[in-house]
Structure 1
Amino acid sequence: MVKQSPGDQERPPGMADVARVAGVSAQTVSRVLSGHPNVQDRTRAKVVAAVEQLGYRRNNAARMLSSGRSRTIGVVTLQTTSYSRAAVISGIENTAQAAGYAVSTATTTSLDTSAIERALARLADQGVEGVILSVPLIHSSDRIEQLTRSTPTITIDGSRTDATGVVAVDQDLAARLATRHLLDLGHETVWHVAGPARWLEAASRRDGWRTALEDAGRSVPPPLEGDWSPGSGYRAGLILGRIPDVTAVFVASDEMAFGVIRALHECGRRVPEDISVVGVDDIELAEYCTPPLTTVAQPFAHMGALAVAQLLRHIADPGAMAVPASVEPELVVRASTARCPDAAGEPGPG
């Protein structure tokens, strides 16, 4: 709350208070919160920080009555208990709220195009001003293309349509970082526990893993497929633990990697002394795994925030060309990887 003067009642912070704290004009604050494209990123960040500091909230009901706009963005997401998806949604909600927007979520239990169509249609019926499509959409449809053309839309999770902007992590690079790390430790080849084939992220990671091995002149073992769950990783780990030649495994998600490591322990294979394991995501539990998990980090909350920023610019200027935003992953080395037991002193090619 902001105090007007001694003895007065406290009042909610207003746009002028945000402007004062951010060191900008009230007009600039209004432009930022309206998603105006002609605002420098540094200025936008100062205004958002001031909004968060003061707890400023716009009166969306009054604004909707006066402007006819809903001040709401929609999100289409897959129903899941995955940490990564929850982190993306958190980034979306926090950034949207700071900009004075509400978030309406349409959850789908299926990746079928008909299910995605229904979710997009529900959001359109609610009058959302824009949509973030946060599902791994491999196949589009005429209806999806129509809906995303009529409503400003940003896609993440590797989805693509003809009319949408894209915010994406380079999943091919994530896989190559993981695979090259293991090859640099002297492992002759790297086995792979992949995600579901219908997911674009899984397909890109599988391609990056295969490319890294082929570029290094190494054999490419047959991949095992999981479903992102620790249980599917555990089942794959029971198979890998019984193959004597396995010394290194790249797992397409941290949660599956937890299952792989447990199975390897049960098979009497030590991590990393006998088998090195790398995951993807760097969820909060990764550093508390036994041993702490080497993984490729993805900035989930930042992805959500970036998607909102892109969407608000698209809403403010629908005719502008959407510029894809690519976020580079980062290898985080912990204790689940080590030199191959049979490797010489020098790192192997990678």
Structure 2
Amino acid sequence: MTDAPERPKVATMFDVARVAGVSHQTVSRVLNDLPGVRPSTRVRVEAAMSELRYTPSPAARTLASRRSQTIGLITAGRPDYGPSNAALGFNEAARAAGYTVTQVSMREVDTESLRSAVAMMVRHNVSAIVLISGEREVIGAIGSIDLEVPLVSLASERVDGMHRVAINQFEGGRIAVEHLIGLGHRRIRHVTGLQDAMDAGERERAWRETLTAHGFPVSGPEIGDWSSESGYVAGVALAEEWRRETERFTAVFASNDQMALGLLHAFRDAGIRVPDDVSVVSVDDIPEAAHFAPPLTTLWQDFDGLGRDIMATVLDVLGDEEHAPDRTTRVPELVVRASTAPPPA
């Protein structure tokens, strides 16, 4: 018995994009004869399609020719404060620009569920898709789907072949740690967010690199998951360490306000005074942060502005996808309250 001959691989839009040296969204624009593609780029894409004998889906081309003033929005992962408010800001910006938004939200994400969401949006003739998810796994999953429309993602780390918008989380983390250093702190611990979260990774990287640049010790971090409960668990572990160490840490940088709330609770239970014994700084400036005990020093993030950035990038991509700029220069602003002070003598 002989093995059946292996079927030749059918070229995909991603193959064409790789050979032409462009994004798969640019290939889609060429296929559907949409504006915003330079003539030289169009020639490269058409040559790549010919070389690979690429055959596009007739149904997808028909749908693409009937695009509406609608944008698809996929929110994936935990409905935490930052992504939820970024989605709200984007919805408002889209309406102000005259677009309607078709939205799909999913807590648990896999490639097939994303593929189904994308297919539904293509059936609704969306002009573009926006992805709001801070998790690398989600970004990787949607990157494997052969999209027929442009994609813009909210991603604080660089993603090859994908237009992205972000607040500069690294710079925000650096500002938070420099604030503590400016007060005189030298031993600064960190409670990080989800390990797969890009924002958490950038803030942790800023914490490490800023301490290292000053020649200060780096220990940890404690691992959280964005929730107040995980902040409390991290706070219990840090409180036990604080009691037994001779050279104690004097400050903690928490990766979001919800974990900082749990951290403050754990320190209060352990008899550690904030900021007299340990200072705490965080990220997000949720509305309740000013009413924590003590009121929380934190980084305010302009989520309305972020939503406008996402919509502006979508419009740029629809106009000239090849040269649409990423918008990643917004920086969080430090809001100083009573949870930070100079370290004890």
TM-score bin, normalised by smaller chain: 0.7 to 0.9
- The equivalent of 2:180 in structure 1 is 182
1:77, 1:326 → 2: CA distance? 22
Residues 1:96 and 2:99 aligned together: no
How does 1:1-350 map onto structure 2 within 5 Å? 68-139=66-137, 141=140, 144-148=143-147, 150-158=148-156, 161-244=159-242, 245-342=248-345
The DSSP-based 3-state class of the residue aligned with 2:298 is strand
Unaligned runs of 5+ in 2: 1-34, 37-64, 243-247
Comparing 261-270 with 281-290, which one deviates more in the overlay? Answer: 281-290
Could you tell me which amino acid in structure 2 is paired with residue 191 of structure 1?
Answer: R
Q: Distance in 2 between matches of 1:237 and 1:285?
A: 19
Structure 1 distance, partners of 2:169, 2:79, is 21
Aligned-residue Cα RMSD (Å) equals 2.3
Q: Which runs of 5+ in 1 are unaligned?
A: 1-35, 38-66, 343-350
Mapped contact 2:72–2:101 kept (Cα < 8 A): yes
**Once the 2 structures are TM-superposed, how far is the Cα of residue 340 of structure 1 from its aligned partner?**
0.2
* Contact kept? 2:114, 2:141, Cα under 8 Å: no
Q: TM-score, normalised by structure 1?
A: 0.73
Query: Bigger CA drift: 156-165 or 172-181?
Result: 156-165
1:339, CA displacement in angstroms?
A: 0.4
Q: CA deviation at 1:117?
A: 3.8
Residues 156 and 198 in structure 2, CA contact (< 8 A), matched pair in contact too: yes
Percent identity, aligned pairs only, is: 36
CA 1:79/1:202 → structure 2, altered by over 3 Å: closer, same or farther? closer
Rounded to whole Å, the distance in 2 between the matches of 1:310 and 1:192 is: 33
Shift of 1:332: 1.4
How far off its partner does 1:258 sit?
0.8
Name 1:8's counterpart in structure 2: none
1:210-267 residue CA offsets vs partner (Å, 9 max, x unmatched) = 0011111111111111110111101111111222213200000011101101111111
Q: Distance in 2 between matches of 1:111 and 1:252?
A: 23
Output the amino acid matched with 2:92: N
Maintained 8 Å contact 2:157/2:202: no
Secondary structure in structure 2 of the residue aligned to 1:127: coil
Secondary structure of the residue aligned to 1:331 is strand
Of stretches 87-96 and 320-329 in structure 1, the one that deviates more from structure 2 is 320-329
Quote the offset at 1:328 in angstroms: 1.3
Aligned residues: 277
Separation (CA, whole Å) in 2 of partners of 1:142 and 1:101: 26
What displacement does 1:320 show?
3.3
The secondary structure found in structure 1 opposite 2:289 is: helix
